[in-house]
């Protein structure tokens, strides 16, 4: 129901739908009446708001991205899209699956399928938030779009000789030291081997969240958005005790510095194919010998037990020995 009243030399119009009020002021009574009809239809769901993809992305960055672990990447990606995405200025409700498919195929000609899949996940989140939370669209145009086929995730184990060579290259084959950034990078690698923590989780670790007496560290925010506690082996505690105590980040490294130093030291060895992230696959393999599958999933932060199969690759012959 609409209420239109003169307010000075203008007209104030109010619309009430299901206990919700919306109002504005317009120059003429005719404009006020027209606005009332359109706004009432919009509030009843019979008409969609006239919003663009650009408006949806900017609202997403402001309201939704801060809730997510990948906020920084999402902000950078959406900023880049504002300058390069062909459909950025289109009305949100006018975008359909063919538009998404054309954009997907264009991106596949430029970057790897894994990158496109990650970008599509973000774009789907923008559309889905606009549909479910803001009621700007009735359907997600990406619902029927196929994701690009991706290669299987890398789950390479680290060979004993590779581990020895890397420990020596970082100068950690004797007493553990943390005097240089290179040594702290090596210690981060050793901690990853003990805990299966991701590089970002290790670098974000702060001393108030390290509990050496009880042998665990607390991660307030992880990749999937959940907090989790990671148990520490005696070796992991030894690694952490080698680092200088403080109140800030334990390793005093950012991601770019860690990556640069890792590559620089690793490339001095014959094992240039070893990635820092390979420590996670190796650690998960080692932990799988000590923990049952539910304990393992909790320690490494996997919600989907099936995803553990990427890392768990024990041979049938080895399993047969356990059967007796």
What's the pLDDT score for residue 158?
Answer: 93
Does the structure show a pLDDT above 70 at 201? Answer: yes
What's the pLDDT score for residue 323?
Answer: 78
Q: Which is the catalytic residue, given 21, 146, 223, 272?
A: 223
How confident is residue 248, by pLDDT bands cut at 50, 70 and 90? confident
What's the pLDDT score for residue 315?
Answer: 65
The tokens describing 139, both together, are 């359907």
Residue range 128-161, pLDDT digits in tens: 999 999 988 888 999 989 999 876 666 788 999 9
Residue with tokens 């998404």: 100
Among residues 162, 190, 196, 224, the alpha carbon closest in space to that of 290 is found at 196
Burial of 117 (0-12, 13-18, 19+ CB in 10 A): middle
How many whole angstroms separate alpha carbon 216 and alpha carbon 240?
11
Does the structure show a pLDDT above 80 at 121? Answer: yes
What's the pLDDT score for residue 313?
Answer: 61
Side-chain half-sphere CA neighbours of 184 within 13 A: 19
Q: Check: pTM over 0.95? Answer yes or no.
A: no
Residue range 190-199, pLDDT digits in tens: 999 999 999 9
Q: Which is the catalytic residue, given 39, 131, 280, 302?
A: 302
The tokens describing 121, both together, are 């996940």
How many whole angstroms separate alpha carbon 310 and alpha carbon 156?
10
Residue range 67-80, pLDDT digits in tens: 887 788 899 999 99
What's the pLDDT score for residue 161?
Answer: 96
Catalytic site includes residue 223: yes
How many whole angstroms separate alpha carbon 282 and alpha carbon 263?
19
Catalytic site includes residue 198: yes
Chain centroid, CA 76 distance in Å: 13
What count of other Cβ atoms lies within 10 Å of the Cβ of residue 133?
12
Whether residue 188 contacts residue 203, with contact meaning beta carbons closer than 8 Å, is answered with yes
What's the pLDDT score for residue 35?
Answer: 80
Chain centroid, CA 262 distance in Å: 23
Catalytic site includes residue 221: no
Q: Which is the catalytic residue, given 39, 77, 198, 228?
A: 198
Burial of 231 (0-12, 13-18, 19+ CB in 10 A): middle
């Amino acid at each position: 129901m609409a209420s239109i009243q003169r307010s000075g030399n203008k007209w104030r119009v109010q619309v009430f739908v299901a206990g919700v009020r919306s109002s504005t002021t317009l120059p003429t009574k005719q404009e006020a009446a027209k606005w009332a009809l359109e706004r009432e239809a919009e509030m009843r769901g019979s008409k969609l708001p006239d919003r663009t993809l650009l408006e949806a992305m900017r609202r997403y960055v402001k309201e939704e991205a801060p809730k997510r672990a990948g906020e920084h990447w999402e902000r950078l990606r959406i900023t880049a899209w504002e300058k390069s995405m062909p459909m950025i200025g289109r009305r949100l409700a006018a975008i359909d699956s063919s538009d998404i498919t054309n954009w997907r195929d264009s991106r596949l000609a430029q970057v790897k399928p894994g990158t496109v899949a990650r970008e599509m996940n973000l774009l789907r989140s923008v559309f889905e938030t606009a549909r479910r939370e803001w009621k700007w669209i009735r359907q997600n145009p990406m619902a029927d779009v196929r994701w690009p086929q991706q290669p299987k995730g890398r789950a390479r184990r680290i060979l004993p000789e590779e581990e020895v060579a890397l420990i020596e290259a970082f100068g950690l084959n004797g007493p553990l030291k943390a005097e240089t950034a290179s040594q702290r990078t090596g210690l981060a690698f050793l901690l990853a081997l003990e805990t299966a923590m991701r590089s970002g989780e290790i670098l974000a670790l702060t001393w108030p969240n390290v509990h050496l007496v009880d042998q665990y560290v607390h991660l307030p925010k992880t990749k999937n958005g959940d907090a989790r506690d990671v148990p520490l082996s005696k070796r992991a505690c030894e690694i952490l005790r080698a680092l200088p105590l403080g109140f800030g980040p334990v390793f005093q490294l950012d991601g770019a510095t860690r990556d640069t130093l890792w590559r620089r030291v690793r490339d001095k060895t014959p094992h240039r194919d070893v990635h820092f992230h390979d420590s996670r696959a190796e650690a998960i393999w080692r932990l799988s010998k000590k923990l049952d599958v539910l304990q393992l999933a909790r320690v490494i932060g996997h919600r989907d037990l099936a995803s553990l199969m990427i890392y768990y690759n024990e041979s049938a012959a080895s399993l047969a020995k356990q059967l007796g």
